[in-house]
Structure 1
Amino acid sequence: MRLTRTPRPPCRRHRRRRTLLLAELVVLALLTSGASAHAETVVLALAGSVEEVLNNIRNWLMGILAGLATVFLTIGGVRRVFGSGDPGEQEKAKEAFKAAGIGYVLAALAPLVVEVLKGIVGA
């Protein structure tokens, strides 16, 4: 009777090493096989006037402020619901609601700030 040795499955460490080695080889192949790129100057943002720049600033400012206010409103709502009567959590929820309100007011006032900037700059 002949004894045959059954192959053992590779352990996790060897499988992990093989996977990492394969990933490194793929990344190396992708980095070295790419065609050389020509550097081209591409202008992505071109403003025609100062007024256009200030309008873009206003739009970004309003978007960021409204987004942050919405995040604080959501946090306040979650704290209010999951606070389950804890006075500390309820107070934190009120503070988050106040912060959301301030954020929405600032977002609404952003056009006024840009108009003041236009007056200062002379656009």
Structure 2
Amino acid sequence: MSRTPLRTLLRQPAARAALRVAVPAAGLALTLALPVAAHADPGAAVDLAANSLPAVITNLRMWIMGILAALATLFLVLAGVYWATAGGDPSQVEKAKLALRNALVGYGLAVLAPVLLQVVRGIVGG
């Protein structure tokens, strides 16, 4: 038997026809050989109870306070970096002052978040 290069073999119509049949057949065989998908037990009880409105508002308050405090801390760090690298440049010092002001506003909102959410709780009747 002589060894025929793959390119030469693939140029033959019979070989291409065999590949056109063999590749989809192999895919079908692999698909059928795979295990069947698992299904959930229909008798299992699923508890999808939602939290009460006060619990949701409390969780929301904690998230808002955490996010505001994190952003305020980021602005405070940026203000320090801007101020330290200003080198007497008035525009850089102004950027630092703006970042410091944003940090103070963020901390103020984080402190006021419980008060604001208490007002929301009173409006929605929680």
**TM range, smaller chain:** 0.5 to 0.7
* Counterpart in the other structure of 2:27: none
Deviations 1:37-96 (CA, angstroms, capped at 9, x unpaired): 65699778841x100000011011101111111110011100000111111101100000
Change (3 A) 1:56 1:93: same
| Matching residue within 94, 99, 109 for 2:97 | 94
Question: Are 1:120 and 2:100 counterparts?
Answer: no
The alpha-carbon distance between structure 1 residues 39 and 65, as it changes in their structure 2 partners (threshold 3 A), is farther
Which one has a bigger Cα radius of gyration?
2
Q: Are 1:66 and 2:74 counterparts?
A: no
CA 1:109–1:85 in 2, change beyond 3 Å: closer, same or farther? Answer: same
TM-score, with length taken from structure 2: 0.62
Percent identity, aligned pairs only, is 49
User: Using a 3 Å threshold, how does the CA distance of structure 1 residues 50 and 88 change in structure 2: closer, same or farther?
Assistant: same
Q: Deviations over 1:5-40 (max 9, x none)?
A: xxxxxxxxxxxxxxxxxxxxxxxxxxxx89846569
CA pair 39-72 structure 1, distance change in 2 beyond 3 A: farther
How far apart, CA to CA, are the structure 1 residues paired with 2:81 and 2:120?
38
Between the aligned partners of 2:48 and 2:81, the Cα distance in structure 1 is 40
Which structure 1 segments of 5+ residues have no match? 1-32
Aligned residue in 2 for 1:24 = none
